[in-house]
Amino acid sequence: MRTRSTTRRTLGSLLFAFGSLLALGSLLFALSPGESTAAPVYKVTLPGLSGDDSSGATYATPGANPTASPTTSATPIPGSCNYDRAAVKTLSDPAAGFGRTPKTTGVTLLTLLPRPALVPQARIPGDETAVYSVVGSLTSVSMNASRELVVLITDPANTKSMLLYFPHKDCIKGAAVDDQVTMNKVRAEFEDACGDVSEYGSKQLRGQATFSGVAHWGSTTTPGAAPNGMELHPVLSFAYGSSVSCDPDDPQPAPTPTPPSVPTVKSVSISGVPNNIQAGDEVTATVQVSPALLGVTCEIVYYPAVIFLPRPSQNVGLSPAETDAFGRVSFTWTIPTPASYAGQGAIDAKCGTASVRIFFFISPAGP
């Protein structure tokens, strides 16, 4: 009996030792410097930034393997109409009921407009409810993932560039019927004049054309984009002025474009000048042109006395300046202090062929 009991105790001790060795080996293996298992990665979809047609970005959650490769933005699905600010870009948003009469301007002037600090998903009143007409040198056209035609133009006077967009017919069905007709018609006119673009392809263009379209704050990183991201999106009219193709592969020479007609300034007004001014005071005169045109050169002349002996504007620091997008430009100067300048004064403002004169009383400077 003692021998059998001793044998059992010995066998139990051996089994316990064997189990302990297995546990120790598992622990050493887990602590070894070999490859570790990466923490799970979860996808988080964030709203795309303005001008970015991607649907979002994927990020690793905290605690993920720091040596893992970073994930990238999702690639837009070719042919999709679900791109960033699509409703604004296709006149399908609730705020698209503004007028469609264009204001004549230039590529350079549009690239100098101040960009807002934040571009929301909704249309920005004022900035993006304006329709502009520009003349541009045609550089290239391409088709993006949303099947929009993207036209790169430059200012005929310099190298400033901007992008113009023709939406695809499948992506404008939320717009008013009249707008759908306009957008489809202008895209067809552009393709007739400049040739078709292969799906998601691109080609060079030549010549000059006049475009009108809705102002839109787009991406600043797209190749050819204006530095402030200003673009015409969508284009509402296109005029090449010739039956000759603007496609450089066409053997016929590009036509000489007809200079665009510049709308005439019909009237000018001056505001901000008090009826009574004391010599030595600073005065700001705001000149307004009608219709409100961007880039109209205005000049102002100050007459210090009723005798109207013209004193050049440079004498009081005034130089010609251009109107802003609202057709306004301001001039600031100090009324000269010699006592002989007291009496009735006047200001002449001239913008284009229109001019106006206002009167005011100048009192001597105080002691």
**pLDDT tens, position by position, 191-234:** 988 888 877 778 999 889 999 999 999 999 999 999 999 999 99
Q: What is the pLDDT of residue 274?
A: 92
94-115 average pLDDT score: 95
For residue 178 the two structure tokens come to 């009249």
For residue 231 the two structure tokens come to 């673009």
User: How much of the chain exceeds pLDDT 70, in percent?
Assistant: 69
342-350 average pLDDT score: 84
Domain with CATH 2.60.40.2550 in the chain: 267-363
**Is the distance from CB of 279 to CB of 365 less than 8 angstroms?**
yes
Q: What is the pLDDT of residue 214?
A: 97
Q: Which CATH architecture has domain 267-363?
A: Sandwich (2.60)
Q: What is the pLDDT of residue 62?
A: 35
Task: Verify cis geometry, omega within 30 degrees of 0, for the bond prior to 367.
Answer: no
Residues in contact with 314: Cβ distance below 8 Å, sequence separation at least 6, in sequence order: none
Instruction: Say whether pLDDT at 65 is over 70.
Output: no
Summarize pLDDT for 26-60 with one digit per residue, the tens.
544 444 444 444 444 333 333 333 334 433 333 23
pLDDT confidence band for 256 (50 / 70 / 90): low
Residues in contact with 131: Cβ distance below 8 Å, sequence separation at least 6, in sequence order: 98, 99, 100, 101, 102, 103, 212, 213, 214, 215, 236
Q: What is the pLDDT of residue 45?
A: 34
More confident of the two residues 82 and 232: 232
Summarize pLDDT for 235-250 with one digit per residue, the tens.
999 998 666 678 877 7
Q: Which fold has domain 86-239?
A: OB fold (Dihydrolipoamide Acetyltransferase, E2P) (2.40.50)
303-314 average pLDDT score: 53
Instruction: Say whether pLDDT at 92 is over 50.
Output: yes
pLDDT confidence band for 128 (50 / 70 / 90): very high
76-82 average pLDDT score: 69
pLDDT confidence band for 72 (50 / 70 / 90): very low
Predicted TM-score (pTM) of the model is: 0.52
Summarize pLDDT for 258-290 with one digit per residue, the tens.
666 667 889 999 999 999 988 888 999 999 999
C-alpha dihedral (183, 187, 192, 195), degrees to nearest 10: 180
Residues in contact with 94: Cβ distance below 8 Å, sequence separation at least 6, in sequence order: none
Q: What is the pLDDT of residue 312?
A: 45
The region of weakest confidence among 284-288, 307-311, 316-320 is: 307-311
**Is the distance from CB of 347 to CB of 303 less than 8 angstroms?**
yes
Domain with CATH 2.40.50.140 in the chain: 86-239
**Is the distance from CB of 157 to CB of 135 less than 8 angstroms?**
no
As a whole number, the mean pLDDT across the chain is: 78
